[in-house]
Structure formats: structure tokens, C-alpha cells
Structure 1
Amino acid sequence: MKKYNLITPEGTKDFLFEECLVRRKVENRLHGIFRSKGYSELITPSLEFFDVFQTESTHYPPERLYKLTDSKGRLLVMRPDSTTPIARVVATRLRDAALPLRLYYNQTVYRFEPALKGRSDEIMQMGIELLGTSSYMADVEMVTTAIDVLAACSDGSFSLELGDAGVFKELMRELNATPEERENIRYLIETKNYPALNDVLDTMGDSKIAAALKKLPALFGGEEVFEKASQLYSSQRIDEILTDLKKLYQDISKVIGTGRLTVDLGMVNNADYYTGVIIKGYLEGYGEEVLSGGRYNKLLADFGYDIPATGFAVNVDAVSNIVRQNGEIPVPSADAVIYAEQGYEMKAVSVAEQLRKKGMVVEYGFFDQLELVREYARERNIGKIVIVDEEVTEVE
């Protein structure tokens, strides 16, 4: 007996009518922004080999991956992100391309999300990757493009967070922790779970590094964060990171002001391939980030091509939900419906094509009575009826 033929799997949904229209509208906006900055579109397969996501820089927990096998018994996954497959493409098929490379994508990612989080397992993402440069200007381009995206998808009610993965990585490099302990500490910092973080770090001795890690989740706010951070722990590399991030914060604040810009040194993404500046973008009406990314200078080396890179991804579904809530896009309706008298069906086809060439949206009325066509037009909010017989008559 069939049990699941009338529902969709957990973490997925059907998109209907207005939802599709809004998604396309958001995608078109982002396409325009990315193309205007010189980015070229790239599409990777929905299916990738499991090994692609088990490199030194990228290790997705197997329990979060949708897995299957091919005809040869090889383990495949539905791609859980787009950055790693793009790194594979650049390191192989685009290895001889001139640098820097500007690429963008519009495709779905799949990953198991905790059931109680209410997140989707199937997420439409658009994003950009800027590969082959580690310049400060590349980071500026990435952040300002993120601002353009947030502005284009809101009424100005957005905010941006800046961080740097290097601070956490430098502190952990000097802490004597196992990989499991390191991941646990990262998770507790990311979720700002102060009590549990303190308990874990208390077992590692009363070191200055442990003390700094305890304070890391609280290091968020405005420009004052940099002074607080410098007092917690100082090394040549961390001082350089903070100096560079402070400059970026000051420069970006000139673009959007300080009211919508935050520094968060406790922002340690679960994608371990980030090595430098991290960004997250938020829109009013959605509790989590709709945009995230940053610099990942080591990921391509895992595929044999050691070049720096930076990028970000946009959760198109989340942005679309916000646009719908704001009532920005109306439910579409046709401009006209055509009623063809018997024997004049092909004439109606010709009339419809002429109207469509003028840019009108035209439907056929599949009824044998004009009054039924009128009723249909009223229900669908169609303002014009075109009657086709010996003559062509338009009525409002």
C-alpha cells in the first residue's frame, strides 16, 4: 500500500504560482547585479562524488549528506554546497583560465537539517566566487556586492556582520585540543553557548588562550570591539588580522553607516575552509542570515590548484519569503481572454499571437458560452475579453 505518494519528503516543499513568480523576480535581480560586475554563470552537477566533500578543508559530516550510489557502486552525494564543486571545476577544467576568475551560480543545494529547526533540506542558492586574488580590493568588492544584494532585496532594512576566521584559527592553533574538541569549541562559540564553552575550556588549563576563547562570542558590536579584542590576546598574526579587519569595517561604514554594520569576532562558520574575512547579511523579517560567505584561500589547494578565493551565497528561498511578506509582487493575471465562436478557432489563434507580439498576456477561454467566459474573467481579474467571429470585438 502506498503511504507517501501524496506528500513531499521532510525538508522539502512544492512552490506554487506567486511563490515561483517571486523567486524568479529575486533571481533576476541577483543575475543583474552579478552580471553588471563581470561575473559569468557556471552550473555544476547536482550529483557529486562523496570524496569531493571530504578534503582537508571541507569535511561535511556524512549524516548531513544525501547519499546514493551510481551503477558502479561508487558513493555519490547531492551537493551540500556550491563553493566546493566550483573549486573542483576551477582546479580542473578552468586551470588555464586567466586570473582572477569571476563566477556566479544559481542552483539548489541539499543537506539534512535538524528537524526541530524548521529549515529546509532543499535550498535554492545564488552566489559569486572571485578566484585568483587575495587583494584587499577583492574583499571590498565582495562586501560591497553583498550590500548591493541586500539593498536590492529589501526596503533598506538590512544589516551586515563582518568577522575574520583567522582569529579563531590562530587561537586554536596554539591550544592543545583534539579535532573533536576543536569542533565542539567552534560550535559553542558559533551558538554563543557561554556556560558550556566555559566548562569545556576550564578542562584545558587556565591559559591566556583559553581565556580569550571564552570571551570570543561576546566580541561583537561596533568599532570598540577591536580595542577589547587587542586586550584579550596579542600575537603578530592576530594583531595583523584585527588591523586589516578594522580598516575594512571603517571603509564599509562609509558606504552604509555604522547603524547597519556590526563586527562579530565570534562568527566562526561551520564550513572549515574559511581562512579570512567572513560576512553575513540579514533582512528584517527573517531571524537567520540570508547571505553568508567569506575568504577561503586554501580550499582549491585540496584539488591541486593553490590559488586564493572569496565568495558568498544567498538563500534565495529566504529572500523570496521576505519579499512576499512585504507584498511587493502582486499575483499575476492575464491582460485579455479570447472567446472564439464555433468555426473561428484558428482566427482566434492568429488574433492572440498579434496581441502577444504587442506584449500582452493572452489566454483562451475554453467555454462554449460567452457568459461563462465573462465569469471566468471576473474570477481571474482579467480586464479585457476579445470576441472573435466575423469581427474581432474587444469588451472591458
Structure 2
Amino acid sequence: MQRIFHTPEGVRDIYNGECSQKRKVQEKIHRVFHQYGYEDIETPTFEYFEVFSREVGTIPSKELYKFFDREGNTLVLRPDFTPSVSRACATYFSPDKEPVSLCYTGNTFINNTSYRGHLKETTQMGVERIGDESADADAELLAMTVECLLAAGLTEFQVSVGQVDYFKSLLKEAELGPEAEERLRVLISQKNSFGVEEFVEEQKLKDSMQKAFTEIPQMFGSEEVLKKARSLTNNACALEAVSRLEEIYEIMKNYGYEKYISFDFGMLSKYQYYTGIIFQAYTYGTGEPMIKGGRYNGLMKHFGKPAASIGFAIEVDNLLLALSSQKLLSEKEEKPEVIEYEPQDRAQAIKEAQKLRAEGKCVALRLKKEAR
């Protein structure tokens, strides 16, 4: 049997300076979580399949790593922390009585073969605010997003904010079938204005609906976009969604972080559990978002304790890629002080090393090569 020394496709080893840099960035982000009063939680690496089933609204079943336990139950490696944390919250907390603020760090696993070169195991850090439906909670998580990126060392980035309820309200008014809805969702997500225009004409929607859907892919930018969104519809639910964004933006001004916020009504997540605002953070040097988040007011009901919730996940690997490309990672590797000793000097060497370590220094003891 041939011995294998390399990793499978989609996973990799992280070592030397890169591993050290990753730990330092994680520590800085973790400090922000705690400063906002979020408490740590660890959930299992694998869960019952039902936690990530189609009804929950997470990724497609074919992209899950599935296996069986001895009793024949289907288990999956977690592809996403939000359902896991929601399940744990429903088990151990009472978000109906008091909002629950939790934070986590760990790896996720997605068996996606359609993206060659993309990692199948990635590190995520994130927070979940469960039992709070206020615009203040939305703004707090946007503020945390900004502070996490600043703490990591980034200076130039943008947090793009969308509103799922705006699109869903228009869909309900249009009365499209499931297949048509999904096709329209894909076209808008791709910002394919011509495709959207052609599609809505085929559906023979009224002129005002056609105009609204055609405009959505190009509705991104500053707060002026909110006025544009208002002008396109009289749908009460859609207008309420715009009002929510306006309120959140005003709260962000209190934090002083409004300059980092932009709006994108064409942002539509593949996760179906999102219900209100969704957001993604981008910077130079990586085409993928560093942070993804949003409101998921319907998810907790799947675990027996309905509660309005919002959260975000930091893709740590994407963040490190951005920091590296912008040369914002420290090139200095803190090497330990090395004390070499002969066997007869062992006691003295150990005593010296212990003294230096007590002072907070890093010390490596090494028996001299010729004495090994």
C-alpha cells in the first residue's frame, strides 16, 4: 500500500509564520466579541442531518459531508455555525425571556466540487444575537463587523447591506411560481439586468413590477439608493423594509461608522433562512467576502423556541488573504530565546528558563547537539 503524505483536495496544512499570524488575528477579533458582551460557545463538529436539512434553509444536501453512526442515524460535518448555535440556544437558553449573545470559533466543512481551488474546510469566527428583533441589534452587529476588521488591521473596506424582505415582498406581489422565483433570484444575484428584463417581460408582469425587478440589480451605492427603492413600489411590506434600513443607517451614525456602509438591494444569499437585512464585507485583494451575516427570524422555530435573531460569520482565511495582499500582516516572527546546555548544566539551564518564562518571555531549552 502506497504511503500518502499530502492532504486531500480542498484542505491544507497551516504552519510556521502563517499559523502564528492567524492565531494573532483571531485573538484580536475574539477580544472585540467579548468587549460587546458576547459569551463563548462550542458546538460539535458534527450534528444530526436534521439540523442542516432543507427545511432549515442551509446549503444543499449534496454539499454536506454525510456519514452514519452505529445506530444508522445520518450525521453531517457542520457546513455552517448558525443552525448549530441556534439548536444549542434552544436547548440551554430562554431567548424569549432575555436576549442571548453568543460567539464562536471553529471550522466548517462544505463538499463543493464546483469551485476548484476553494477550500472545503475553512475557519469561521462569528456571533449570534438571539431573541432581539430591534434595529439596534442590526446596527450593533454592523458596528461589530466594522470593529473586527479594524482590529484585524484593515483600514479600507466596505460593508454592503441588503434587505431580503424587500425582494420577497415584491415576489409575493408578483405571484410567481417557485421555479420562476429561483430563476429571478439567480439573475438578480448575478446582477444580470438584461436577463432580468427579458425574464420579467416573459412573465407578463405589470409595468411597475417589471420596472422594480429590472432596477434591483443596479440598486447599490450610498443612502441615495434607499430613496430609489422607495420610488419603485407602493408595496407596504417593501416600504417597511426600506424604513428598517433607514433606521439602521441613522443608528450607525451614532457609532460613527456610517462611512463604511453601502447598500445593495441585489444581494440575495443562498441561505434561505435569512429574513431581513443581510450584509457582506469586502476589501481589496480578495474577490470573496470576508464577513457574511444577516437576520434570520424564522430559524429558531425549527428548534422549538421561536426567536428573532441576527448574526455574522467571519471567513478567517479570506480575511488573512486580504491582510496579506495589502501587506498588513507583520512579517516579524517572534522567535523564542534559545538556551543550549550540556548535560551537567541541566539544572542551571532549567532554572534560568523558568525565571525568564515567569517574566513573560518565550524560552526554548535545547540540549547541545553533540550531547544528544
Under a length normalisation based on structure 2, what TM-score does the superposition of the two structures give? 0.91
Equivalences for 1:186-205 in 2 at 5 Å? 186-205=185-204
In the other structure, the counterpart of 1:302 is 302
CA distance in 1, matches of 2:232, 2:113: 35
Counterpart of 2:277? 277
2:188 and 2:216 in contact (8 A); partners too: yes
Return the letter of the residue paired with 1:345: R
For residues 155-208 of structure 1, give each alpha carbon's deviation from its aligned partner in whole angstroms, at most 9, with x where no partner exists.
411111111110111112223333333223222212213343334333311333
* Contact 2:290 2:319 (C-alpha < 8 Å) held by counterparts: yes
Asked whether the 8 Å contact 1:57–1:298 carries over to 2, the reply is no
2:120 maps to: 121
Check 1:243–1:224 CA distance in 2 against 1; reply closer, same or farther (3 A cut).
same
Conserved? CA contact 2:95–2:131, under 8 Å: no
Kept in 1, the 8 Å contact 2:158–2:261? The answer is: yes
Report the counterpart of residue 86 of structure 1 in structure 2.
85
How far off its partner does 1:14 sit? 0.7
Please report how far the alpha carbon of residue 228 of structure 1 lies from its aligned counterpart in structure 2 after TM superposition: 1.9
> Residue in 2 aligned with 1:379?
none
Residue type of the alignment partner of 2:294: G
Q: Which residue of 2 aligns with 1:361?
A: 362
CA 1:196/1:333 → structure 2, altered by over 3 Å: closer, same or farther? same
Residues 136 and 251 of structure 2 are in contact (CA less than 8 Å); yes or no, is this contact kept in structure 1? Answer: no
1:42-121 equivalent positions in 2, closer than 5 A: 42-54=41-53, 56-95=55-94, 98-116=97-115, 118-121=117-120
What are the ranges of 5 or more consecutive residues in structure 2 without an aligned counterpart?
none
Alpha carbons of 1:317 and 1:69: their partners in 2 closer, same or farther (altered >3 Å)? same
Partner residue of 2:224? 224
Q: State which drifts further: 256-265 or 116-125.
A: 256-265
Count of matched residue pairs = 369
Note closer, same or farther for the CA distance 1:14–1:191 as it changes in structure 2 (3 Å cut).
Answer: same
Q: Give the match's secondary structure for 2:228.
A: helix
Deviation at 1:280, TM superposition (A): 1.4
1:365 partner SS = strand
The CA distance in 2 between the partners of 1:287 and 1:168, in whole Å, is: 25
**What percentage of residue pairs aligned between the two structures are identical?**
31
Separation in 1, partners of 2:194, 2:277: 27
Give the Cα–Cα distance (whole angstroms) in 1 for the partners of residues 154 and 46 of structure 2.
Answer: 37
What SS does the corresponding residue of 2:344 show, helix, strand or coil?
coil
Q: Residue 220 of structure 2 contacts residue 264 of structure 2 at CA under 8 Å; is this kept in 1?
A: yes
Aligned to 2:169: 170
Aligned CA RMSD, in angstroms, stands at 2.3
Alpha-carbon shift at residue 276 of structure 1 (Å): 0.9
Q: Higher mean Cα deviation, 67-76 or 57-66?
A: 57-66
Question: Please, which runs of 5 or more residues in structure 1 have no aligned partner?
Answer: 371-396
Letter in 2 for 1:128: V
Q: Does residue 157 of the first structure (1) align with residue 156 of the second (2)? A: yes
For 1:197, what is the secondary structure of its paired residue? Answer: helix
The structural deviation recorded for 1:342 is 3.8
Report the secondary structure of 1:43's partner residue: coil
Counterpart-to-counterpart distance in 2, 1:337 and 1:258: 49
Shift of 1:107: 1.1
C-alpha distance in 1 between matches for 2:75 and 2:35: 35
Q: Distance in 2 between matches of 1:251 and 1:96?
A: 24
**1:166 counterpart SS class:** helix
Mean CA deviation greater in 197-206 or 279-288: 197-206
CA pair 97-197 structure 1, distance change in 2 beyond 3 A: closer
CA distance in structure 1 between the aligned counterparts of 2:94 and 2:154, rounded to whole angstroms:
41
Tell me, what secondary structure is at the counterpart of 2:67? strand
Cα distance between partner residues in 2 of 1:268 and 1:96: 27
Cα drift, residue 214 of structure 1: 2.3
Partner AA of 2:200 in structure 1: L
Write the deviation string for residues 27-51 of structure 1: whole angstroms up to 9, x where unpaired: 1111111111111111111111111
* TM superposition shift of 1:327: 4.6
Shift of 1:369: 5.7
Distance in structure 2 (CA, Å) of the matches to 1:327 and 1:277:
30
| Greater Rg over alpha carbons, structure | 1
* 1:29-82 Cα deviation digits (max 9, x unpaired): 111111111111111111111111125341421111111111112211111100
How far off its partner does 1:212 sit?
Answer: 1.8
The question of whether the paired residues in 1 share the 8 Å contact of 2:163 and 2:241 is answered with yes
Q: Secondary structure at the match of 1:344?
A: helix
Per the alignment, residue 237 of structure 1 pairs with 237
Distance 1:210 1:84, change over 3 A: farther
Q: 1:278 to 1:96 in 2, by over 3 A?
A: closer
